[in-house]
Structure formats: C-alpha cells, structure tokens
Structure 1
Amino acid sequence: MSSSPQTQEPNPEPNQEPNQEPNQEPNQEPNQEPNPEQTEEKDAAKEEVKEEVKEDKTEEKTEEKTEEKTEKKEGKKEEKKEEKKESCRDFIYNPRTGEFLGRTASSWGLILLFYFVFYGFLAGMFSLTMWVMLQTLDENVPRHQDRVSSPGLVVRPHAVEISYNRTDPTNYNQYIQQLHELLQYYNDSIQEQNDLCLVGEYTEQDAEPIKKVCQFKRSTLRQCSGLPDTSFGYEEGKPCIIIKMNRVIGLKPEGDPYINCTAKRDTPLQMQYFPPDGRLDKMFFPYYGKKAHPDYVQPLVAVKLLLRKEDYNIEQTVECKVEGSNLRNSDDRDKYLGRVTFRVRVSE
C-alpha cells in the first residue's frame, strides 16, 4: 500500500491569533471609525492654544512698541534740552560768528545810532511845540476861564454844620481858632501898609507889573472881628459867620454886589452884617492873579446870628447869596455858585 506523504504544519503558539497586526491596541476593531465629538473638542482646543499664542505675541509687540516710544521721547527731550542750552549760550554770545545777543558789533552800532537820531528828532519837535505854545500863554491870566465866570461862596468856620454848647468852651474853641487864623492877614497893622483905594470904583492896574492891594482892615468887621469879643459871639450864643467870595482873575462884577442871608423857617431870623449891609466894594476888583497880585486879600462879610433863647436846641438852616450884580446865584447844577448854605445849632 502506498501512502502519500502529508505535510504537517507546525502548531501555532498558544493564545496567538493569526493575522494580528503589530502595535494594534487590543479590543480595537481594525476598521472602527473615530468619534466626531472627540475630533471637535480637539480642534477647539487647538484653536484656543493658537489664539493664546497670538495674544501673547501681540502683547509682547505692543509692550515693545511702547518701550520704544518712551525711549524715543526721552531721547528727544534730552536732545531738546541740550539744544536749548546751546541756543541760549549762542544767543548771549556766539564765539563762531562773534554775535552778542544776536547782533554783531557793527549791527549794534548802526541800530543805536538810528535810535539816537530818531529820539533826538522827536525830543526836538516836542521842545519846539512846547516853546511855541508857551509863547501864546500869559503866566498871570488863564487862557480859558469861561467855566468860572461867576465865583462861589465859602464860609468860616469851615463846617457845613456848626453845633456847640455855649456853656462849654471846648465845644466852640475850634471854631474860634479858625476865625482867628483867617483874620490874622487882615490885622490893621498889616493892612495899613496897603493902599487906600477909591470906594465904589474898580482898581484897574493893567499896565503896572506889580499890582497894589487895597486895604481891608480887620476892625471893619467890628463885633465879628474878634477884637472886642475874642469868642466872636459864640460864648453868648450869638455866633459870627464870615463869608468870602472865591477869587476869579479879571472879575469885575456889575452893579453893587452885597451878601444877603435868609433863614429857612417860618419866622425871620435876626442878623447883623459887617460891613453894613454886607457890601462887597468894587475897589477890591479886579484880581490879577497870584504872581501879579501876591498880597491881595478879598473882601469879607461877617454875619452875626442874633439867636434868642427860644432858638436854642433848634437847628437853624441859613442860605447866603451874592445879590445886586450880574453874578449868578441860582444854578441848580452847582449849589455853591454865588451862594452857600450852612446849619447852626446852639444848645445851653
């Protein structure tokens, strides 16, 4: 009997599966498809990582740019400071060009010469115009005096309201002192050195360089002269008020000017005038100015208020005006033009 040889395959190793691929995970099926959720998570994670990397890079770039900008600014500031220092030094004195304060010596000389000639010309023109103007003026008479055509009146004692207690001399001593100071220039011994002028006529002296002065003696005021009664009537409660007219150069009042006073009350107030009738004589006019008429004294009028006991402790308002001439005394815009108002109150 013939028998065919049989080829016997070797036995496989135990627990070894045929056709198993190397590096293949166990329990993994060879043709298994990946889970889509897992792939999406991986992609999202990758994108997040990329964005973080980009942000880090942009932050680094911005920081680098800001640092560069700050460095540039600091460098520019330092350069500017150095340039300013150098420019200031060069402005004061530039050794390269020899300039002082931006100009050379020849430039300074030319500009100083120009200003010297220019301002010298202006000074000469000003001096010439002043000299020409002064030739047209009179040192004694103002060129324009239209606004003082009529004089104002003033009173002494220099107070709008005269109030005192007649039993206390300390209350009225200040008023007495003011009157004595005013009348010391009218003392008879001084006035006797002046000229006797014609009563009722102007004393015109246009041609004479030094003008004469007419006498106005203190004794003319009699009871208000302070000679027989040194208290000027203040001690007995019958005070004296002296009125004078302001000086106006060249004034010649027409008519026969005099001072008239009235009390603003229902019953008239008794008054006494010195000189009589409160007259301002024409012989004291005109006045020629302080330089040509240095010793001139204007005429005075004294008013003695004859107060009674029933007038004490009552304020008396008195208004005095210059009347009898062309002088203005009723201008509402100027209450002192040709008139004056004062108040007197005497108490016991």
Structure 2
Amino acid sequence: MADKKPESQFYTRPPKLGKWEALRIFLWNSETKQFLGRTGGSWAKILLFYLIFYVVLVGFFAAMLVVFFQTLDYKMPKYQLEKSLIGGNPGLGFRPMPSDSNVESTLIWYKHSDKGNVQYWQKELNRFLKAYNRSNNVHADKLEECRQFQPPQPGKVCNVKIDHSWQPCIKEAGYNYESKEGGPCIFLKLNRIYNWIPEYFNTTTMNSVDMSPSLRTEIKTAQANGQHQIVWVTCEGENVADVEHVGPIRYIPQKGFPSQYFPYVNQDGYLSPLVAVHFEKPKRGVLINIECKAWARNIIHNRAERRGSVHFELMID
C-alpha cells in the first residue's frame, strides 16, 4: 500500500506523563538535551546577556557615585544653617536618658535606696561622659585648656574638664543619685549645628524677650564684668505645682555655654560644652515636669516643637 501523503498525516498527541515524570523531563530531557527547558547554547546566550547587562548597570551607578562623592566635603556640609534640613536653631539635649525599651519616655525615675535602680542612671552618665575623659579622646593632642571667653589656638579645640569642682556631679559622688536628701545631676548639652555662632544678650537686646527677672539681673551683672558672652541656660518647673516642688537648682560649672566653644566646624577632638544641673532638694514621691531653655538672641523657643528647649520629668521615691 502506498504511503500516505504528508498532508494526510496528523499530529500524534504525546503520551500523558505523570507529575513526577514531567518534572524529571523538565529538569533534564535526554532526547532534546535540554536542562530546565533550555539547551546549553540557549543558557549560555542568556547568561552572557545578563552578565553584560549587570556589569554595565553596576559600572554606570559606580561612575555616578564617584561623580557625586567628588561634590562632597567630608568636613563641611554643603548646606548650612537656615539652608540645611536641621536649620539654624539649636535645641537642648539631656542625659541620662531612659532605657531604649521606651524610646518616647523622658522620665528619670529612681529610688535612691535601690542600688540596682540607681546604678542604671549612673552607668548611663558614665557612658555619656566617657568621651570627656582625655585618655579616651583619639585627638587628645588637639585639646587646649582655654581661658574663659578666649578662643583656642588655630588647630586646637577647648577641653571640657570635669573635675572635683563639679562636685557632686562627678563619678566619684555617684552624680548624687544615692543622696538621701539631695536630688540628682542632669547634664545638658547644646545640639551641634555647623558654623552656628550665638548672638549674645546684653542689657538692650534682652528687653524684648520674655525671660525671668533673675536671668535679666545675671546678664546685666555679667555684662558689667565683660562676661556676658554666654548661651545662658535656665531650668524650671513647667507648671505652678512643678515650680513649687522642684526646689533650688544649681548650675555647674556655670549657668550656660561660654563663647570659647563656638562655632562648631567639625574640628577633630571637639567636645560639646556641658552644664550639670543639680537639683538640690526636689520633693520626693512627686512627678515633676521640668523645662530647660537655652538663651541667645538667635535661639527661638517653641515648646510644641521643643525648639531651643528640652523637657523631662523627674521623680524620686
């Protein structure tokens, strides 16, 4: 019998394969020499394409990064003061801070007779003040013992020396957290803003500012002695009851940050100036809301945004 014509031949359905048999053939088809549905030549072409594609892509981004980093100065930000994201209005920070388990808390709460509880706050201060130990500063050769209101020599920065004159706000005294009657020491620092220079108050410029009579008197006295170049610091209770409960406050080594520490221009070894606030006799067993402010003509206070100020609570059982 003569062979059928090609057009009369029909496609024969391939045999139906089981699930595992189909998977085996997909992984390696011995008839077509295909691995995962592709021949060796097909795999070589697609891998070569993606290799070239990603090499070009990585090279392009690397070149863009090189160009970008050429525009950066690692010592000086491109945008400064009002042109920068952080602006030109410094805020205040305080230490010790509560544990990281409650990052939103600003409550300093302890029981002076509970040694374990007290040790947490002391260790936090030890860790914070570690940078102020000259032996821990890798740029200790840059530190200079500056005279009050006198800038350091070129290439130097003013040291912040925490010695026994800071009593009781020193490590040896436990920062007064174990005192049976007195209150603790809280350290304040002004946030760093590159090239920010304070505009200091004098007897004429402070009249338009809402400040306490006691601070006005201090500024007048300091100006009379030629010592008013200070970013002043004040702490007080936020509400009437808080003012009554907070008690007397002592500022160590002085009531503010003197001019020799400004401006900050990312100097090697630079130390932010500190003020230790000693609450001498706060009322026990009462939550006290405290607000501290920094005072200079170019510091604007905004309680809602915590500009130029810092808030925390103190409670001693």
1:214 corresponds to which of 136, 140, 158:
158
Structure 2 gaps of 5+ residues are 1-11, 99-105, 201-229
Residues 1:119 and 1:188: Cα distance change in structure 2 (over 3 Å) = closer
Q: C-alpha separation between the residues in 1 aligned to 2:123 and 2:49?
A: 64
Residues 1:340 and 1:121: Cα distance change in structure 2 (over 3 Å) = same
Residues 1:103 and 1:280: Cα distance change in structure 2 (over 3 Å) = same
Alignment correspondent of 2:312: 342
1:250 corresponds to which of 192, 195, 218:
195
Alignment correspondent of 1:80: 16
Alignment correspondent of 2:48: 113
Q: Does 1:314 align with 2:291?
A: no
Structure 1 gaps of 5+ residues are 1-75, 206-210
Alignment correspondent of 2:25: 89
Q: Contact between 1:188 and 1:219, CA under 8 Å: does it hold in 2? A: no
Deviation string, structure 1 residues 12-52 (Cα, Å, up to 9, x no partner): xxxxxxxxxxxxxxxxxxxxxxxxxxxxxxxxxxxxxxxxx
Residues 1:222 and 1:104: Cα distance change in structure 2 (over 3 Å) = closer
Question: 1:133 aligns to what SS in structure 2?
Answer: helix
Shift, 1:231, TM fit: 4.7
Q: Contact between 1:157 and 1:175, CA under 8 Å: does it hold in 2? A: yes
Shift, 1:218, TM fit: 0.4
Shift, 1:270, TM fit: 2.0
Residues 1:282 and 1:83: Cα distance change in structure 2 (over 3 Å) = closer
Q: Contact between 2:113 and 2:178, CA under 8 Å: does it hold in 1? A: no
Alignment correspondent of 1:303: 277
Q: Which of 1 and 2 has greater Rg?
A: 1
Q: C-alpha separation between the residues in 1 aligned to 2:46 and 2:177?
A: 77
Alignment correspondent of 1:157: 96
Shift, 1:284, TM fit: 1.7
Q: C-alpha separation between the residues in 1 aligned to 2:55 and 2:25?
A: 34
Q: TM-score, normalised by structure 2?
A: 0.65
Alignment correspondent of 2:132: 186
My pick for the range that moved more, 317-326 or 143-152, is 143-152
Residues 1:108 and 1:315: Cα distance change in structure 2 (over 3 Å) = closer
Shift, 1:204, TM fit: 9.1
Residues 1:323 and 1:304: Cα distance change in structure 2 (over 3 Å) = same
Give 1:99-110 correspondences, 5 Å limit. Answer: 99-110=34-45
Q: C-alpha separation between the residues in 2 aligned to 1:312 and 1:83?
A: 77
Shift, 1:298, TM fit: 0.8
> Which structure's relative contact order is higher, taking Cα pairs within 8 Å and 6+ residues apart?
2
Shift, 1:217, TM fit: 0.8
Q: Contact between 1:257 and 1:325, CA under 8 Å: does it hold in 2? A: no
Alignment correspondent of 1:200: 149
What is the identity, as a one-letter code, of the residue corresponding to 1:260? T
Deviation string, structure 1 residues 322-346 (Cα, Å, up to 9, x no partner): 11241333152x33x3211222233
Residues 1:106 and 1:185: Cα distance change in structure 2 (over 3 Å) = closer
Identity over aligned pairs, percent = 29
Deviation string, structure 1 residues 251-287 (Cα, Å, up to 9, x no partner): 33332412111113435642111122x2212222233
Q: Does 1:283 align with 2:260?
A: yes
Q: Does 1:273 align with 2:244?
A: no
Q: C-alpha separation between the residues in 1 aligned to 2:24 and 2:134?
A: 80
Which structure has the highest helix share of the two?
1
Q: Contact between 1:271 and 1:303, CA under 8 Å: does it hold in 2? A: yes
Q: TM-score, normalised by structure 1?
A: 0.60
Question: 2:85 aligns to what SS in structure 1?
Answer: helix
RMSD, aligned CA = 3.8
Alignment correspondent of 1:323: 295
Q: Does 1:238 align with 2:238?
A: no
Shift, 1:118, TM fit: 2.5
Shift, 1:187, TM fit: 4.5
My pick for the range that moved more, 220-229 or 112-121, is 220-229
Q: C-alpha separation between the residues in 2 aligned to 1:254 and 1:78?
A: 89
Moved over 6 A (4+): 188-192
Q: Contact between 1:220 and 1:275, CA under 8 Å: does it hold in 2? A: no
Alignment correspondent of 1:128: 63
